[in-house]
Chain A
């Protein structure tokens, strides 16, 4: 359908036509026409955040928990620069977001006009793609293209920078076509020969391991379903990255837990010893591989990824399969069944026995206490008391994030929203706002640190305004715990600037934001306090005072291999465990 309308009306129409029900944003001079158009309609609901970074994180939370594209509108200049952290976050974690930025009128571009910045220049390296719209005739096509590019292939953020005069101008609106894009046509179907070769290799495996990542989640529920089918059919053990949690149920006996820097002993040792690795939608990030030249040294590697540049980037794949996880997993299942490929059951039994040996180390064990709440215990209780509910978890960044990944068990995809690639403190509250907006009836909890939450605390106000009963569960250790842990291990225990001084009274803070504050500092009170939090139909800040000295283990120190992992027990002798070479790594 082609219709005459203003650029601002096209924006709103394009939102509606691309399935956007909620848009997160913040007004300003350069987007006033868009806000005027939003005001005059009912299809698209605008959610007013308190900082543009929050708008993007909220859109990310929305996108990750629904599988839809998150939408954002911000103004020019500071609105756009404030959004940059969110965009970089979405790029690193491959989250589909369309962010519209206002721009000064076209005739002023380049003149250092009020609130002008080179938005496409600034956001070029932190978006999948971006556009500056210079002609109203291009606007509707670009808007539809933005949604297409954000969602297809490896998803990511797309910025459309729209000068104010273009928003006022009148032109012809064209509806989205499913023609796709003239150049951007990601390959989604895997090469059948390589799939066949992969299945043959899997059938020869004596010590196989699935290593899955965020790609399985991004691909959609079908990919998780097929993954489960393939894992159960082959009986191979499986581990996943931080981003991939939930694709495979944590309660299943074949599940080894997360791998990587703070992954489980069994997952990392299995990675080190495996002879065939099947990487599905993960990218051999340095947090996973540790020391590259000692990474999974005995393995042949199958790597499935939708992004050709992921294959052979850090680690050479023996079989690289480019395609969407769901398609490739489906084809692998067919190929496995069609051939008479069989798992080497005898070898697998031995392999599982070996894995059980590692499991028996009980690497997540910690010394509990009656007097002080251990952070691990807090997460265990939080999990136990919420596991039968419809629950979504977001996190901030730090020790609490790793403990959440270790102790909260996910059975389903899209329930776990954390900033993995960029590691953005301040992600959790706005992400929870976005998740709760999409799932008003669900229990949405931000597992947080007392330092991180102060980066985007103002989004409590957003939660209050829209009656979003998000729960901010702070593991308050009075330290930037992860920084303190590194300083303990690497810098002689000199805790330079990592103490959380002059903390606000989080209970009063919650009340100031029209929410409810709960404080708990005794293990005996924890269950009832958590129960109370769950029952409150308002935003809650839960100030859980935990042991300030606790460290997060297991840990593979920077520059070390998987078999050089530190366990909690050896904490006494930690400093020697990291050598000079490891210290320079982040």
Chain B
């Protein structure tokens, strides 16, 4: 049997009026073996998108880790993702930071640029404008460290491209809600 594509299937994923949205989810989990595999398996198994995923232990005593997941989908799919995550046994809480009030998100990147002469000067000047720091330097290269929202980092990387961009390493997004309350 051939595979149904979006135009031939009679099972629409969602009514056409619902557009895809980007959401940032904060997920508090038990830091136990396999928990990341459970979350990633859930996303791949059910065909959800992962745009960015970060995870690290945040409370050592309680063995808690916090994941930040950036995903896209229709509102119905986003609700599903949240409920499916909550269904996993080691998951404590899932917070949709995009709907839960104002939140801050940041990403860190290390950007390696190689060049001489004017290009080198220009790279330094731009780095300064973007508040990127030099964390490694050689006669013909720099490694910049830059923190900010993802789009700012995208922009910085784009600018470095013609100046001798070698490679980039990014952490993915971490996020937290504004105000005095925790999750």
Contact = CB atoms under 8 A, between A and B. Distances in A.
B4 interface: yes
B177 to A, nearest CB: 21
B4 A292 contact: no
A312 B89 contact: no
Contacts of A441: none
Interface string B87-102: 1111110000000000
Contact of B8 (A124, A311, A560, A584): A584
Interface in A2-33: none
Contact of B33 (A128, A132, A312): A132
B86 interface: yes
Interface string A311-336: 11100100000000000000000000
Nearest to B90: A183
Nearest to B8: A581
B76 A316 contact: yes
Given A183-B89, A584-B4, A309 B80 contact: yes
Contacts of B9: 581, 584-585
Interface in A213-239: none
Interface string A554-586: 000011100000000000000000001111111
B1 A184 contact: no
Given A124-B38, A292-B10, A292-B11, A584 B1 contact: yes
Interface in A250-301: 286, 291-293
Interface in B41-90: 41, 45, 76, 79-80, 83-84, 86-90
A273 to B, nearest CB: 21
B12 A293 contact: yes
B26 to A, nearest CB: 16
A244 to B, nearest CB: 22
Contacts of B83: 307-309, 311
A586 B34 CA distance: 33
A184 B89 contact: yes
A132, A182, A586 — most chain B CB neighbours (10 Å): A182
Given A184-B89, A312-B76, A312-B80, A585 B41 contact: no
A559 B10 contact: yes
A553 B66 CA distance: 52
A181 B88 CA distance: 13
A522 interface: no
B181 interface: no
B87 A584 contact: no
Given A184-B89, A312-B76, A286 B37 contact: no
Contacts of B37: 121, 124
Contacts of A291: 10-11
Interface string B134-163: 000000000000000000000000000000
A291 B10 CA distance: 6
B20 to A, nearest CB: 17
B30 interface: yes
A128 B87 CA distance: 9
A149 B1 CA distance: 38
Nearest to A580: B8
A125 interface: yes
A498 B91 CA distance: 45
A41 to B, nearest CB: 30
B3 A309 contact: no
B15 interface: yes
Contacts of A583: 1
6 contacts: A129-B88, A183-B89, A307-B83, A307-B87, A312-B76, A584-B1
Interface of B: 1-4, 8-12, 15, 30, 33-34, 37-38, 41, 45, 76, 79-80, 83-84, 86-92
Q: What 10 A-B pairs have minimum CB-CB distances, sorted nearest first?
A: A309-B83, A559-B10, A129-B89, A584-B4, A308-B83, A184-B89, A291-B10, A183-B92, A309-B84, A125-B45
Given A124-B37, A292-B11, 11 more contacts: A124-B34, A132-B34, A183-B30, A292-B10, A293-B12, A309-B86, A312-B79, A581-B9, A585-B4, A585-B10, A585-B11
